[in-house]
Structure 1
């Protein structure tokens, strides 16, 4: 599972979502989805802009945690629990 840690990083820096939207040019709604870890997809360009604006490494805003439920892929490419 991929976790977005943007809310933690913005809190550390005392930045608002609006501050980040202004600094990066990324739409506020997109920032809000990332902030609340609700984004299904994340643009590499957006991650680059965010890291540049916050002067941080990717590992400070994105974290990988292994899934607790093991899944297998079906022939159609979909995942299903074992």
Structure 2
């Protein structure tokens, strides 16, 4: 989001995804990800899934947040 200069609020308006849900995605406060929401985010930001999600494995202590 930083590279695209888009705020969480703006992304919410573009995608139709609730602000609070996007905020939770951004700060890594969710454990389940809705693929249709990820598709909307990627479309809005013109990016790939791998650009916004990083898998660090179960042994990683700090796996929070969308980049």
Task: Identify which of 17, 34, 37 aligns with 2:25.
Answer: 34
**Aligned-pair distance for 1:65?**
1.3
1:61 equivalenced with 2:42 (yes/no): no
CA RMSD of aligned residues (A): 1.3
1:47 equivalenced with 2:45 (yes/no): no
Gaps of 5+ in 1: 1-9, 70-82
**Aligned-pair distance for 1:12?**
1.4
Gaps of 5+ in 2: 61-67
| More strand per residue | 1
Q: Report the TM-score when normalising by structure 1.
A: 0.68
Question: What is the count of residue pairs matched by the alignment?
Answer: 60
Greater C-alpha Rg: 1
